[in-house]
Amino acid sequence: MTTPLKIAIAGLGTVGMGTIEILRANSQTLKRRAQRPFEVVAVSARDRGRDRGADISNFCWYDDPVKMATEVDCDVVLELIGGGGGIAKSVCENAIAKGRHIVTANKALLALHGTELARASESAGVAFCYEAAVAGGIPVIKTLRESLSGNSVSRIQGILNGTCNFILSSMRSSGSAFGEVLAEAQKLGYAESDPSLDIDGVDAAHKLAILSSIAFGTELDFEGVHVEGIRSISAEDIAFADELGFRIKLLGIAEKTPEGIRQRVHPAMVPISAPISAIEGVLNGVSIEGDFVGPVMLEGAGAGGGPTASAVVADLVDIACGRILPLLGVSSSYLTRPSINPMEDHKGAYFIRMMVYDRPGVLADISATLRDHDISIEGVIQRTRSATEAVPVVVTVHETLERSMNAAMKKIAGIEAIQSPIQAIRIERS
């Protein structure tokens, strides 16, 4: 086919302009792979006069992206605006209604409205592609939907947020406090001026909800994700982890259990020997466990204009070639409601750090409390003693139920010689 694939782009940030750059720079390669040329016919963004470092004057300009999605003569609309609803959702809905394919990098939109959009796009017979929405340039969506389609997936574990991985990696290498490294990340452009979505784990949770839905054939359930961020991680925690042979990572984990599906995002200690512990800086990494293929590890750039735009263009090639799959890997009519395995039923090992005043019997009180909640101690680290200041005491415990750990921590926090808050970090050995 020699008819161009006509593209309209809503959003001209780093990803939108990166997509234009790839389409221009690799036009001949893309034409050979797609067997047809690509043509950007219209664009829309908030500021028409902004210098974006490239000439866009030959594209038809729309101030209103929804109007563009409705009126322009195109085959595909790229939604690169972002946000969990609002104008981004309207762009997609109106494009679908007009029979136009969608490519997006918007994980929040998918996490919150993906099931609804899956039904709408299937009903309209159009593609809804989003490789760029999870882990940037890493082809994890394609891997789950296509390469591993012959497997039953039991578990996904990943570093899904480059900002948090950069902060935790830098804290370890420099010994600096969380706030100092966050400021550095903002200065380098790795963290937003308001970094809440990243450091509070919400961004990773959006991505995990998408991966979980594809892996387990369920409707999207962002509300069912247990979410914790990294604000509480201290330089002391990083140092103790290193001493114990661990790295602290913000992990997104989705797993199928006999009782249901558990989705969780939280800081975790992983052994230095684990492949995921070696993923440093702003890189992302995802491990997928299939029943026949075994564990599969993917690693690469999880953000940035180039890697994310690369994933956008890969989706365009699929559409040009007629490779259209259901949004979530199976027809929306086959999606099931996820049966939730609550976090309190999680069973695992824990690292506990307490600031303790040197009082007779305090360690015995801690040990007795853990014993009373059926929690077995694996090891204890106590560095120094002080008659006037609280000193850190670290306890690692064997596998126990989360509800038991929560109850024990509440009881220990009431011991007079212990300062609040108590730090508890889950240990993930698999």
Q: Are strands 246-257 and 153-159 parallel, antiparallel or unpaired?
A: antiparallel
**d(Cα 186, Cα 159) in Å, to the nearest integer?**
20
Decide: residue 257, CB within 10 A, 0-12 exposed, 13-18 middle, 19+ buried.
middle
> Is the Cβ–Cβ distance between 256 and 155 less than 8 Å?
yes
207 is catalytic: yes
* Catalytic residue chosen out of the listed positions 207, 249, 347, 410: 207
Whole-angstrom Cα distance, residue 338 to residue 340?
6
Give the CA dihedral 280, 286, 292, 293, nearest 10 degrees: -50
Longest dimension (CA), the chain: 83
Per-residue HEC secondary structure of the chain comes to CCCCEEEEEECCCHHHHHHHHHHHHCHHHHHHHHCCCEEEEEEECCCCCCCCCCCCCCCEEECCHHHHHHHCCCCEEEECCCCCCHHHHHHHHHHHHCCCEEEECCHHHHHHHHHHHHHHHHHHCCCEECHHHCCCCCCHHHHHHHHCCCCCEEEEEEECCHHHHHHHHHHHHHCCCHHHHHHHHHHHCCCCCCCHHHHCCHHHHHHHHHHHHHHHCECCCHHHEEECCCCCCCHHHHHHHHHHCEEEEEEEEEEEECCEEEEEEEEEEEECCCHHHHCCCCEEEEEEEECCCEEEEEEEECCCHHHHHHHHHHHHHHHHCCCCCCCCCCCHHHCECCCECCHHHCEEEEEEEEEECCCCCHHHHHHHHHHHCCCCEEEEEECCCCCCCCEEEEEEEEEEEHHHHHHHHHHHHCCCCEEEEEEEEEECCC
Q: How far apart are CA 348 and CA 44, in angstroms?
A: 49
Contact in structure between 128 and 328 (CB atoms under 8 Å) = no
* Catalytic residue ranges: 207
